Structure 1
């Protein structure tokens, strides 16, 4: 849901669309589809966007006040209600959104230095319920390494996480991660002055002014009785030539990773490890001012009792996750529509940091059951999908499919190599997650880099390589239609004269343009 005020629009400027030149330059005069002759006297400065169809309306034409809009979590217009359900509302509070502040933590009182995140005990005590189909069967796949193939992903649609135990991992095709890889190696190859983002596990906030040298000293000398618990989960390492050489992603990942298909190999961009693609078949992106997203290889380093609260990996990316040293416990919830609805509500709550997401789900389940029992009919949403735990020990390997909601606990000091990848066959899920990120106001630095631009580049790739479409699985072919519809809607959005130019400008900038023909407008 988006709301904009036209009377603060600075964009009556030179780069407006040619087809806009003949219209009244006063944005207040722009009409929405609900405008009538009788509505001419109404206020036309405030606009509201439907989250489902993306159409914009004047709030006055909808007879909505500013306070009405502020209560909304996700607005659905009258045309979309039958398919997408009614508008969702959030619980309002006069308080600002709370950050975890367990008794003046930042002031350094010794008694709270080693305090654990309060959700850890709840995660450890969590028991899966038996009222969901995925729990009644195996909640995740446990397979031999040689079974982890492109064909496996097409057969299963990766509808559940995949675990390969250490004893079966050697047969994963092309996976190469040294068993003795350590923080010393990372520092040697990347340099101790390399900046690193460190997370305070109690507050779940990023800490500034850390580099690998400082982190190495902390990580190696950590004392659980005196030191605050910190965590590194976003150190991307694929740009380092030596690490990129000794760490190879499994063939399963490189076969699926759509970025490997849309970015060429050259000296300015990352190499495509294990890729079977002929670089001559790749779209020549040297004509575009676009940098390859650096998300393919991460080093994660966690101290004992580290905790990462519930989240969805950025852009709906899938994840490969290899435990070099240590142990991890995941609590995972499937990407059902109802779980997503609850996740959005939970993410936007004022006191979200103090609410254990499974508790929020259980609260909604009770409402669901009580309502159906008392009224003898179904609500317009389904029963939330139940969660389950996945325990990974040293040497184990896991694939987290697109869109799964999960929290992670570290029972012992751990060193992880993993990576994120976009897939074509999960494109609908990835688009859905990107919309959730925007709705829940996830900062851009925690989203997939240039996500919309990447979707355009995927379309360019298949337009340049029509023969590749014939080799796709049926599910992947179906996703090309999803991609077409998405990009078509983006173009319709840009051409919609009722939408302010400053808003359209953002979408236009996401369309890759050849530098040599920058004046050409693809719209």
Structure 2
């Protein structure tokens, strides 16, 4: 991956965190990976706490099950607890372990390989890329970048009264011993990604989600010879970016990418869907259907989230709004333990016989964060108008920009879900009114806005029958990203002058060694080398 000569850029663009706003997203500027700069020191300090796997274990719980990936096979590895993973990590990375005596003092340090007992699966190369930090103390300590919090579809449109079923994909821990590799993939549901490398280093090879590249990715993923084919040579305009400790990168949704970890690395990151990439997110959902990706490996509650987004867009797009939240009494039931009453007190007898669940009436005033405390009871309340501003801004920008005809595509996809099966199969939320009525409202909104005649799909591609085309290369002297990056890319290209080709420069080990010279000559001709 690192020796491939056809990268068009090795220098990611940068954006200041305060400049990455909802307007920035809506204007289409988030069309390539960016290094996020100008981070608050407080956020970075919270990330640095994750430098030690023991800290993660203590916060999340040693008994939490960890899903691992076997680097050699790129398939699921053994399921370990966090305690077992810590032992594995220390063995593979050679970290010192302090053993305490009965007085709590350090008795000795164990760091020599011969002194460490090999843990279970110690000979295998395992990688952890999806340790969910949701519902743990770390969820309160760590904060995603501001742009993620502002634009996340779940935060914007998921109803507060359905918090139990709320999908959580915004915060993950990643722990990769040296030389781990994650093969080419597209993040589930076409979600965008944010990464902060806490420790170590990572290399990302990425390609833009053009029709050609997604079609090539689908053909590669469907190929029985997948492990023998180097996808890089079939992609247009791939880039290679290096992330060091302290770096943060945001990657747009739909970008196929592979990741190599040269040194022991710990990172924190997450996935998020945003309203200005709906068209590509729905296209990736279609791609996942064609590839037969199991539901357990897809964005949680994706269909339900699309319905909730459509509901809010239809309501707010027509100027609708919830009623103003004035001070008003709320009723809720509290389960109280039964109390023994005086047999001679009739009122006590009547109370017990009427109901075991007394209804307490409290007068409370809604606050901006949606909660209020009354006599020690934490009460969930409807959002105030101020909390609804982010939702309104997102819908306003959607209607004014409509990037990639996303609203028309959303309407078309929702209609297809209903036509292809029942409401249950379409995952229409039970708390949603008639889906047909909602689709009618959304269609009326698009007609009024002049968006109804837009195209209803992003790409006309049958991913199930896609086949790899001719290899694609971009000369280092032209194309996006050459400029000041040329001097960094050229040394990679010069590796072609060697007498043999390494497999990353050829057709992914599908060519015999005796044909290497011919492959090299063709590549040199493609790259304009004489």
Measured against the shorter chain, the TM-score band is: 0.5 to 0.7
Q: Within the alignment, does 1:126 sit opposite 2:4 as a pair?
A: yes
- For residue 165 of structure 2, give the secondary structure of its aligned residue in structure 1: coil
Quote the residue 2:155 is aligned against. 260
Q: Distance in 1 between matches of 2:305 and 2:215?
A: 26
Of the three residues 75, 78, 95, the one matched with 1:208 is 78
Superposed displacement of residue 492, structure 1: 5.3
> Structure 2: how far apart are the matches of 1:229 and 1:493?
41
Q: Which is bigger in relative contact order (C-alpha 8 A, separation at least 6)?
A: 2
2:410 and 2:153 map into 1 onto residues whose CA distance is 17
Tell me if structure 2 keeps the 8 A contact 1:176–1:249. Answer: no
Counterpart residue number, 1:473: 397
Tell me the SS of whatever aligns to 2:287.
helix
1:325 aligned counterpart, secondary structure: strand
Distance across 2 between alignment mates of 1:355 and 1:306: 19
Give RMSD over aligned pairs: 3.0
Select which of 50, 57, 67 maps to 1:197: 67
CA contact (8 A) 1:490 1:507 kept: no
Residue 46 of structure 2 corresponds to which residue in structure 1?
177
| Structure 2 match to 1:453 | 304
Partner of 2:229: 355
CA 262–176 in structure 1, closer or farther in 2 if over 3 Å, else same: farther
- The residue number in structure 1 matching 2:418 is 494
Structure 1: tracts of 5 or more residues without a match: 1-122, 266-283, 362-383, 496-502
- In the alignment, which residue of structure 2 is the partner of 1:159? 31
Unaligned stretches of 5+ residues in structure 2: 95-112, 114-121, 320-390, 440-530
Does residue 150 (structure 1) correspond to residue 22 (structure 2)? The answer is yes
Structure 1: how far apart are the matches of 2:253 and 2:283?
A: 10
Deviation string, structure 1 residues 83-122 (Cα, Å, up to 9, x no partner) = xxxxxxxxxxxxxxxxxxxxxxxxxxxxxxxxxxxxxxxx
Go from structure 1 to structure 2 and tell me whether the alpha carbon gap of 1:421 and 1:435 turns closer, same or farther (over 3 Å shift): same
Partner Cα distance (1:438, 1:492) in 2: 14
Q: How many angstroms apart in 2 are the aligned matches of 1:316 and 1:160? A: 14
User: Does the Cα contact within 8 Å between 1:127 and 1:388 map onto a contact in 2?
Assistant: no
Matches of 2:192 and 2:219 in 1, distance apart?
A: 23
Specify which of 382, 393, 396 is matched with residue 244 of structure 2.
Answer: 393
Q: Work out which of the residue numbers 504, 510, 516 in structure 1 matches 2:421.
A: 504
Shift of residue 139, structure 1, vs aligned partner: 6.1
Aligned length: 339
Whole-angstrom CA distance in 1 between matches of 2:203 and 2:147: 24
The 5-angstrom pairing of residues 72-151 of structure 1 reads 123-129=1-7, 135=9, 140-151=12-23
Q: Normalized against structure 1, the TM-score is what?
A: 0.59
**3-state SS of 1:157 partner:** coil
Query: Offset of 1:479 from its aligned partner?
Result: 5.5
> Cα distance, 1:473 vs. partner?
2.2
- For 1:440 and 1:476, the matched residues in 2 are separated by 34
- The answer as to 2:118 corresponding to 1:244 is no
Distance in 2 (CA, whole Å) between partners of 1:519 and 1:398 is 38
Structure showing greater Rg: 2
1:98 aligns with: none
